[in-house]
Amino acid sequence: MIELKGVSCRFGSTVAVDAINLTVETGEVCVLVGSSGCGKSTTLRMINRLLPHSAGEISVDGQDIRRIDVRKLRLNMGYAIQGTGLFPHWTVARNVALVPKLLGWSRDRITTRVDELLTLLGLAPETFANKYPEQLSGGQAQRVGVARALAADPNILLMDEPFGALDAITRDNLQNEMLRIQRQVHKTTVFVTHDIDEALRLATRIAVMDQGRILQHDTPENILRSPANAFVENLLGSQDRGLKLSALRRVGDAMSRHPQPCEPDLETDWLSEDDSLRQALSVMLWHEAEQLPVRDAGGAEIGVLSRDQIWTGAT
């Protein structure tokens, strides 16, 4: 879907991005992570030509982006940034409808799409459609920003630290929303963050950047198991890589399943099969439990997870 070959970006004598190669496959979430000034946001902005690249080639669906009309290119790429970039004098509905209107969609089609996206992002249309950005919390405004990026159903979604200014609880909730939405819509996504835990949680593949170069591009698990160098290892946190690895695995993949769901003991603490093994271990340690039951969304007990299964599943 997206390919960068030998791409550089210079500002005078300063090299912001230095001859990088990167391929983002269709439906993949590629997270660019690194410290401030490493070139990750510059890389993102070159993909939709908000910044020109000085050397190399960037292609989308095999076509050089310099040969694509810039308006057409950007209309096919959703773009969400930190701080949302919402127009303060426009309602939520009008903000979300921006790109569909530019594309000439009918009024009914736009209304249906706006309602669909607000619902998808947990913002009831009857409550939020006619509100203005100043009437929203930070998390609500960021959801509207994501809805606007998705409005015209673009093939590609570019996200530049969209949750960076939010508090930890709101950020965690929006990360969960991103995971849920990605399971439903499978957008090819390039996501920029400086937070390695966010990168590990959201990414299909991670590109670790430093001083304008890509040091390692691989799956979260492979990067945790085999960091390319000391910089990558330090970014991951060398002392808690095991815990980070356990956060990538689901309870449902390690548990013992019952042949048939059974009625749960409502007095007993329990786990969901979508919880991570890291979450499961935390609950077990807190309650001094050697194992806990696992319930489905309806509350029926479907299996059990033990500490031994956590050790096995996380290695």
Confidence of residue 227 (pLDDT cuts 50, 70, 90): very high
Of all residues in the chain, the percent with pLDDT exceeding 70 is 97
What is the DSSP secondary-structure string of 184-213?
Answer: HH--EEEEEES-HHHHHHH-SEEEEEETTE
266 has a pLDDT exceeding 70? no
Give the 3-state secondary structure of residue 49.
coil
Q: Containing H/E element for 74? A: helix 70-75
Of 215, 221, 185, nearest to 203 by C-alpha is: 221
pLDDT tens column, 158-217: 999 888 777 888 888 888 888 888 888 888 999 999 989 999 999 999 999 999 999 999
List the alpha helices (DSSP H) in 121-270.
Answer: 125-128, 138-150, 168-185, 196-202, 220-225, 230-236, 241-246, 251-254
The whole-angstrom separation of Cα 203 and Cα 281 is 23
Mean local confidence (pLDDT), 6-20: 94
307 has a pLDDT exceeding 80? yes
pLDDT tens column, 21-74: 999 999 999 999 998 889 999 999 999 999 999 999 999 999 999 999 999 999
243 has a pLDDT exceeding 80? yes
The structural domains of the chain, ordered by start, are: 2-246 (3.40.50.300), 251-313 (3.10.580.10)
Q: Which residue has the higher pLDDT, 137 or 298?
A: 137
Residue 66 DSSP one-character state: G
pLDDT tens column, 77-99: 999 887 768 899 999 999 999 99
Give the chain's mean pLDDT.
90
Mean local confidence (pLDDT), 291-307: 88
**Residue 192, CB half-sphere, CA atoms under 13 Å: how many?**
23
CA quadruple 234, 239, 245, 247: dihedral sign? negative
Burial 248-275 (b: 16+ CB within 10 A, else e): bbbbbebbeeeeeeeebeeeeebbebeb
315 has a pLDDT exceeding 90? no
Cβ partners under 8 Å of residue 66, min gap 6: 49, 58
